[in-house]
Amino acid sequence: MSESIILDAPLTWQEIAAVANGAPLALSDAARRRIVNGRRIVDALVERGIRGYGINTGVGALCDVIIDRENQQALSRNIILSHACGVGDPLPRPEARAVMAAQIANFAHGYSGVRVETVEALLGLLNANLIPAIPSRGSVGYLTHAAAIGLALIGHGSVDDGKGKIGGAEALARVGLKPLRLEAKEGLSLVNGTPCATGLAALTLSRAARLFDWADAAAAMTYENLGSQANAFAAVPLALRRSKGLEEVGASLRTYLADSPMLAETAGTRTQDPLSLRAVPHVHGAARDVLKQVAEVVDRELASLTDNPAVSGTPEAPEVHSQAHAVGAALGLAMDSLAVAVAEVAAISERRIDRLVNPLVSRLPAFLAGDSGVSSGFMIAQYTAAALAAENRRLAAPASLDGGITSALQEDILTHATPAAWKALSIADNLETILAIELLAASQAYDLQPRGRAARTDGLYRRIRAAIPTYADDRPLNGDFARMRALMEESTP
């Protein structure tokens, strides 16, 4: 089992991604004390009758309706039930775990006022891998995804135990708990904030970072097959363009292509290579720069309270603040930016694939087929890559500008952070397939010109060929794509 992540200081996006991929999560004593203190403040607000949104008032456009004390538990329960209106297929288990981890991290700041028992119930389900079924669609930014988690806590909804679906009450029983009777404010806190978007954003960052490494590897293999400038990625001229990402990619390409006999043989046969080869450091590097900027935004979000209202002060002098901290504008903008960056890496990969299979520019057999005419080789694989790159362009349209009006003009601007993160994940999934196609096409190109390769590209080629043999129109190619994706997910290049 993975090493436990201890929630004390704010979690990082890497830690959220680790929990999403199976690492257990635990509260530190300090985090537990913060949660307990926040709850004492809410209890004091209730006791004194101090007005607080969603504590002793209705929510949304009903925020001025006062809820008497005996109905505050009913309000919390009703918020969960009424907000659980998401639709569509459930989030995959890693995505759902990421959302739960981010939700727990938000409560651990101590400004939400949920009971520690509620947080411990969430941790119990998460660490037992009993994952609520969270419908993937129907959220303008939060609410519906988180309500599906809240359903499990009150004994409703559906939970995935890794083998099938069980009810929320049964899932709680497996970790020794009974359905919770939510107290004042807990229903609102359980559906509120940006944990949905933050969890999905952390997972997107993790996948994009891994795929950007594979993109450099794929580009190096393609360049070795097609390139002619032996020193196209030399450090000194590259450094004239200021970009940390560009420097990283240039260094990676130099490592892959060091002492390549193939490039030594073709050096100088062209004045300069086409942009899909020559501009790899510039495109991949720019995407890496964006990833780092987005990572900073996601880490800031994880360090922030994104609940509304926030509670502070002391039990003796309780304070409640109706802010707009649940609005995910920063996340929406950041994830729209990352979506475009990932789509750009996919777009240049598809262009390189086209150069590999196109006999007009590759100087290789048409479509990398050993018997062109009888065999189509990678002809239609490039179609698949082109289709996915085109889909990415559609998905990369900004979600944060979608806007909308909800709750009778009370919530009259929406920033769609969760949809922005969800579609960025979809673009990353398409990138993985496109890169899988490029890696296979580059390996096929090596098969057709069995000259000496650079040591590192040769090692990667041999790893690929140990898992996936040369293609000879003898099987469906999409099976090879799936095997290549599995290799990419199980290892680094």
Q: What is the pLDDT of residue 407?
A: 62
- Encoding tokens for residue 367? 């479509």
Parse the chain into domains and list their residue ranges.
Answer: 5-192, 201-304+324-490
CATH entry 3.40.50.720 includes domain 201-304+324-490: no
- Encoding tokens for residue 394? 């559609």
Ranked by mean pLDDT, which of 108-122, 184-198, 363-377 comes out on top? 108-122
Percent of the chain at pLDDT above 90? 77
371 pLDDT higher than 90: no
Q: What is the pLDDT of residue 413?
A: 67
Mean pLDDT of 410-437: 90
pLDDT single digits (tens) 433-486: 999 999 999 999 999 998 899 999 999 999 999 999 999 999 999 999 999 999
Dihedral, CA of residue 46, residue 50, residue 56 and residue 62, to nearest 10: -170
Higher pLDDT, 206 or 137: 206
- Mapping DSSP to helix (H, G, I), strand (E, B) and coil, where does residue 80 land? helix
Q: What is the pLDDT of residue 410?
A: 65
- Mapping DSSP to helix (H, G, I), strand (E, B) and coil, where does residue 167 land? strand
Q: What is the pLDDT of residue 44?
A: 92
Higher pLDDT, 15 or 324: 15
Buried b (16+ CB within 10 A) or exposed e, 98-127: bbbbbbbbbbbbbbbbbbbebbbbbbbbbb
CA distance 141 to 158: 22
CA distance 444 to 438: 10
CA distances for 297 relative to 292, 330, 334, 417, angstroms: 9, 7, 7, 12
Higher pLDDT, 10 or 404: 10
User: Closest Cα to residue 326, out of 28, 29, 60, 84?
Assistant: 60
- Answer whether 273's CB lies under 8 Å from 229's CB: yes
- Encoding tokens for residue 158? 């559906």
The secondary structure of 325-349 as a DSSP string is: TT--HHHHHHHHHHHHHHHHHHHHH
- Encoding tokens for residue 365? 């057999």
Query: Would you place residue 415 in the very low, low, confident or very high pLDDT band (cuts 50, 70, 90)?
Result: confident
- Encoding tokens for residue 449? 């010109």
- Answer whether 175's CB lies under 8 Å from 79's CB: no
Query: How do 25-27 and 5-7 pair as beta strands?
Result: parallel
- Encoding tokens for residue 433? 């397939």
The alpha carbon of 401 is separated from its chain's Cα centroid by a whole number of angstroms, namely 20
pLDDT single digits (tens) 118-143: 999 999 999 999 999 999 987 776 77
Angle at 330 between CA 333 and CA 194, to 5 degrees: 115
By CB neighbour count within 10 A (0-12 exposed, 13-18 middle, 19+ buried), where does 49 fall? Answer: exposed
Mean pLDDT of 154-169: 96
User: Closest Cα to residue 255, out of 485, 459, 489?
Assistant: 459
CA distance 280 to 256: 13
411 pLDDT higher than 80: no
Active-site annotation holds for 53: yes
CA atoms within 13 A of residue 329's CA, in its CB half-sphere: 5
| HEC profile of 296-329 | HHHHHHHCCCCCCCEEEECCCCEEEECCCCCCCH
The H or E element containing residue 136 is strand 135-137
412 pLDDT higher than 70: no
Q: What is the pLDDT of residue 60?
A: 67
Q: What is the pLDDT of residue 158?
A: 96
CA distances for 287 relative to 333, 337, 396, angstroms: 15, 9, 14
Q: What is the pLDDT of residue 485?
A: 98
- Answer whether 468's CB lies under 8 Å from 483's CB: yes
By CB neighbour count within 10 A (0-12 exposed, 13-18 middle, 19+ buried), where does 162 fall? Answer: exposed
170 pLDDT higher than 90: yes
Q: Which residues contact 12 (CB under 8 A, 6 or more apart)?
A: 299, 302
- Verify cis geometry, omega within 30 degrees of 0, for the bond prior to 309: yes
- Mapping DSSP to helix (H, G, I), strand (E, B) and coil, where does residue 18 land? helix
pLDDT single digits (tens) 252-296: 999 999 999 999 998 888 889 999 999 999 999 999 999 999 999
402 pLDDT higher than 80: no
Mean pLDDT of 171-182: 97
Query: Would you place residue 372 in the very low, low, confident or very high pLDDT band (cuts 50, 70, 90)?
Result: low
- Encoding tokens for residue 488? 């990419």
The alpha carbon of 46 is separated from its chain's Cα centroid by a whole number of angstroms, namely 38
Query: Would you place residue 409 in the very low, low, confident or very high pLDDT band (cuts 50, 70, 90)?
Result: low
DSSP 372: B
DSSP 69: G
- What global pTM score does this model have? 0.95
Q: What is the pLDDT of residue 324?
A: 79
What is the average pLDDT value for the chain, to the nearest integer? 93
Superfamily of domain 5-192: Fumarase/aspartase (N-terminal domain) (1.10.275.10)
Mean pLDDT of 233-239: 95
1 pLDDT higher than 60: no
Percent of the chain at pLDDT above 70? 97
How many of the other CB atoms lie within 10 Å of CB of 254?
Answer: 17
Mean pLDDT of 202-225: 98
